[in-house]
Structure 1
Amino acid sequence: MFRKLRIAVLLLILATVALGAWRSGARATEWKHTLHATVYPIAADASPQTRASVARLSADDFAPIADWLQDEVRRHGREVLRPLAISVAPPVELLPPPFPAGGGPVDVGLWSLRLRFWAWRHDATPGPRPDVRLFVLYHDPARTPRLDHSVGLRKGQIGIVKAFASRDEGPRNAVVIAHELLHTLGASDKYDPQSLAPVFPEGYAEPDRQPLHPQRQAEIMAGRFALSEELLAMPDRLGQTLIGPQTAAEIGLLRAD
């Protein structure tokens, strides 16, 4: 009898958590209220430059992301006074569990559960819990000239972002953060995982452009834009990106009121 009661209580807790997560995700993509995101900076190496860069971060460093999203939300016909507000939490000292590169669905699923538990344990920000939590791992570009892939999870609305600890790289970091932010809202990648080329037409910012190449902007979820059939370029700043129609539909911007 006691065992059955424990199972019932556990199922009730899981159902409550699932319902809360579903409600949070639904509110986040209604585009009627401000979406609150918190950046949790992490020094991913022992470089003094990385530590100094993380220590001086403020909300102003991420304001271009909020401004860009506001422009895109309005471009898609939604009038939200302030679609996104970004705050910065105190630096997190421990690294999140590493993504199981090459792992199967079971490995990724277990990692997702571990990540959400880790995020819960290391969320020391006072006040209400944000809608989206973005753990940004900063690396000294002199030590790590090439970064691994970042990850954004819709379940739990958590992003693990790899970024460079350099002021010069701030605009490019913003592109990656915005990409993962939209993943947490339900957006899917718009590029081929093997070639990394944008998928036509949904991965093109200007699919109707004649001639098609060169593209002048990147669809934010494609990550790159095609200068020719063979040559790709990465956006240097958010001003070179936009939210295409399919991504807009995935995150609720084109949903009927």
Structure 2
Amino acid sequence: MLVPALPARAADATITVPQPGKFSTQDPFPVEGTCPEGSRTATVAVTSDDVEVAQTATDVADDLGFATVLDISKALTGTGRVTLACFAYSDQAPLGTAEVEVLLFGPDTADYEVQVSVSPRSVPLGGVVTVSATCDPGTEMSVVYLQVQFEASFPGDGFIFRQATVRPRPNGDVTVRLPISADHARGFTDPEVGPALVVLVCGDPEAQQPVRDGYGETEFTITAAAAPRPALSPTQGPELANTGSAPSGLVGLALLLLGTGLACELLGRRRPTEASR
């Protein structure tokens, strides 16, 4: 899954890896980017401890983009480097290059899975969700991301619209309420109606040393904001809920008219009797 991207640029080539830039060597390693005009092939390599542990070549699309996945299971825990070279032909110098550093984590520092819950599962724009999870006891920091999902090169790709840092309780419990709106102070984009994702990291996702972090995610849905109900005019009376009955004022008027009609009818019946006397 990709959260905010970490791009590197050199000679009109770009390479992008998932943020926050910490990866288990036991997981597939996704890379995407762009190459300069005229490029036909993108070659991506990963080095660990100055040793190349993975390399692949992939075609460059008509829009000059590329996407690939590497096996980095031979990498060691520590800092790794991802390099890109874009070629028109393999026997010529590259048209563009780029590189970026990442933190690699071997099996001894592999992240653990965290069960994340969100309530409600369907929430309108401008509403609020409650996110809950449990980190390892003693965890001092957790980071929660709310992310809009859309179809892209990798499943779960999208953009983050809100982020919060939460200090777990001593037992590791994390609970936070977050609005379904963009955190513009961080430069985030407004959320959209559709599928969304909660991502929670137990620990510091930007820590510059190999540590054991927890990671979890769960999906929810963003719906359109509820339209405001129009106010009633002074001449409109409210209808009784679920009955269709008229308001009490109209009922009183109807009874008054009914009583007047009955009185007139009784008087009309009595007049002939008095005349016959």
Q: TM-score range by the shorter chain?
A: under 0.3
The structure with the largest alpha-carbon Rg is 2
Greater per-residue strand proportion: 2
Instruction: Compare relative contact order (CA 8 Å, sep 6+) and give the higher one, 1 or 2.
Output: 1
TM-score using structure 1 length: 0.26
What TM-score comes out, normalization by structure 2 length? Answer: 0.24
- Greater helix share, 1 or 2? 1
